[in-house]
Amino acid sequence: MQEFDLLVIGAGPAGYVGAIRAAQLGARVCLVEKAEVGGVCMNRGCIPTKSLVAFAELYEKTQSSAAFGVRVEGQVTADLAAAVRRKREVVATLVKGVRSLLVKRGVTLVSGEASFVNERTVEVAGARTTVGGAGADAHAVASADRFSAKKILVATGSEAAELPGLPFDGSRVMSSTEALELEAVPRSLLIVGAGAIGCEFAFVFSALGACVTVVEIMDRALPAEDRDISAVMERELRKRKIDLVTEDSVVSCAVNPASVRSTLRSGSELDTERVLVSVGRRFNTAGLLLDRAGVRCGPKGEILADEHMETSSAGVYAAGDVVGKKMYAHSASREAIVAIENALADGFAGNDASEAGRLREGTAAGRRTMDYSAVPACTFTRPEVGSVGLTEAQALELGLKVKVGSFNFRALGRAQVLGEIAGMVKVVADADTDVVLGLHVIGPHATELVHEGVLAVSQRLTARALSETIHAHPTLSEAVMEAAEGVRGLSIHSPA
């Protein structure tokens, strides 16, 4: 049995980031992954989806290039098969990069499926080990099937959830994984769920010529976003002739030779070539035998972790989707860093003792805590959506008095130049203190602009401080400044 300072189960954006941070701090690290490094995000989620989003966006821009004075001779066509090949190349390049980072940090990578033997020992079925020290080439070696460690991090992620009556068949009734492998555009597509994933795919396939219908059980598209943002999104969906059905759900579907017939709760029936189900995630905890380690799970199978990312079993930590908090790659990575720095600062004597001491600085109890108050959410539709902090409705539900400022992109010079004028920025501030509670953006490059709000919310900046920060002209970020000025009714370029 091989022994390590830290063992990580799962090599997604929580697992591989945690493994690298631990190695940076001098720990001997073993990372176990049953599939490929990078997890769902890199292989079957964020990265491949955004590759297809970029493809669809470029196709749309090429079609409208004449408005900018650029004439494209001949017919512009979209080759989805070629875009999928490029997507695979992008993914392969990034996976290779992560593997290289692990090798250079001396992380032992074990391929196989892990389960607990006890709170400090893990068994890996079919284990195959890759070993690489700093500057060395990775090579496969014979492996033991059991590994022990002083501390363990569980980062096994999640998978697409099925709905009763809509089981995935991998072809006609798909999850996002199968949708990313389509090499021909379906004539018609039903998307179940108008959350971030559903809306992203709706824009991609609509841009490529598919007839798209989206069914959402809640009363609006992007129900987790501020209502003003949802309203703009619904308007943009209508512009693209995407049919949005809200306050309804799909209860069953029948796969026929020529189509899939879906029956809605309201009694309506829809015939489409394919169905994409994007209604949430299920936690990858089955088969881990967590009870052997004394790790408790919640009612949905999520691992229960405290603010330090430690589970009910001392020395066993968890991070990423599997803890069921903010289920984003970026929050997963941050959770992993919090977990690792806590695990290694607590009784760890690594290669550099000063590093373990440094981790204790700035915290009364010597432990890092995970703060979810300023985690951005990004949706790569067209226009994009970026949000952080409280929506106006959430703030009011908490009993807070709020002031709101907003600014439309169409009044911005840079947006007019780009020909991307749809959308707005909305700032939600505390009426008593002027502290920014939330920032919500729908428009061009919203997923980048939102980080002004992340800084404001995390550092408790006031709307006035945000508005008095000089923003370069002409830039899209001026919309943030104008919206912040709007909190006091002083936005220069908003109509009175």
d(CA 276, CA 314): 41
In DSSP terms, 261 is beta-bridged to 254, 271
User: What pLDDT is attached to residue 358?
Assistant: 53
Task: Name the fold adopted by 2-43+89-159+283-360.
Answer: FAD/NAD(P)-binding domain (3.50.50)
| Mean pLDDT calculated for residue range 177-183 | 96
Give the number of residues written for the chain.
496
User: What pLDDT is attached to residue 258?
Assistant: 87
Query: Above 70 in pLDDT, residue 219?
Result: yes
d(CA 291, CA 192): 35
d(CA 43, CA 35): 10
Phi-psi domain of 481 (left: phi exceeds 0; alpha: psi -120 through 50; beta: other): alpha
Query: Above 70 in pLDDT, residue 210?
Result: yes
User: What pLDDT is attached to residue 174?
Assistant: 95
- Looking at per-residue pLDDT, the higher value among 64 and 204 belongs to 204
Q: CA-based angle 286:291:292, to the nearest 5?
A: 110
| Mean pLDDT calculated for residue range 262-290 | 95
Class of the CATH-defined domain 173-279 = alpha beta
d(CA 88, CA 100): 18
Considering the four listed CATH numbers 1.10.3720.10, 3.30.2270.10, 3.90.226.10, 3.30.390.30, the one that applies to the domain covering 377-486 is: 3.30.390.30
The three-state secondary structure class of 57 is: helix
Q: Cite the beta strand spans of 166-324 per DSSP E.
A: 173-174, 188-192, 211-216, 243-246, 250-255, 260-264, 269-272, 274-277, 281-283, 316-318
CB 191 within 8 A of CB 198: yes
d(CA 298, CA 300): 6
Could you report the per-residue pLDDT of 404-444, keeping only the tens digit for each?
A: 999 999 999 999 999 999 999 999 999 999 999 999 999 99
Determine phi and psi for 237, rounding to 5 degrees.
Answer: -60, -45
Q: What percent of the chain has pLDDT over 70?
A: 92
Element (H, E) at 437: strand 436-443
Asked whether the domain spanning 173-279 has the same topology as the one spanning 2-43+89-159+283-360, the reply is yes
User: b/e map of 404-424 (b: 16 or more CB within 10 Å)?
Assistant: bbbbbbebbebbeeeebbbbb
**DSSP-assigned letters across all residues of 220-260:** SSSTTS-HHHHHHHHHHHHHTT-EEEES--EEEEEE-SS-E
CA dihedral 217, 222, 223, 227 (to 10 degrees): -130
User: What pLDDT is attached to residue 469?
Assistant: 97
pTM: predicted TM-score of the whole model, two decimal places:
0.92
The three-state secondary structure class of 108 is: strand
Q: Helix 46-63 and helix 80-104: axis angle, to 10°?
A: 140
- Domain limits of the chain? 2-43+89-159+283-360, 173-279, 377-486
Could you report the per-residue pLDDT of 318-371, keeping only the tens digit for each?
A: 999 999 999 999 999 999 999 999 999 865 545 454 554 554 443 334 689 999
| Mean pLDDT calculated for residue range 443-449 | 98
Band of residue 131 on the pLDDT scale cut at 50, 70, 90 = low
Element (H, E) at 128: strand 121-131
- Residue 139 designated active-site: no
Choose among 171, 181, 360: nearest CA to 273: 171
Q: What percent of the chain has pLDDT over 90?
A: 87
Could you report the per-residue pLDDT of 377-411, keeping only the tens digit for each?
A: 999 999 999 999 999 999 999 999 999 999 999 99
| Mean pLDDT calculated for residue range 449-478 | 98
Q: CA-based angle 76:77:79, to the nearest 5?
A: 150
User: What pLDDT is attached to residue 144?
Assistant: 60
Could you report the per-residue pLDDT of 69-108, keeping only the tens digit for each?
A: 999 888 899 999 999 999 999 999 999 999 999 999 999 9
Band of residue 126 on the pLDDT scale cut at 50, 70, 90 = confident
What's the token pair of residue 493? 């370029």
The strand pair at 402-408 and 424-430 is best described as antiparallel
Mean pLDDT of the chain: 92
Choose among 477, 482, 409, 466: nearest CA to 443: 409
Active-site option among 440, 445, 473, 493 = 473
DSSP 127: E
Query: Alpha carbon 199 to chain centroid distance?
Result: 14
CB 296 within 8 A of CB 311: yes
The three-state secondary structure class of 299 is: coil
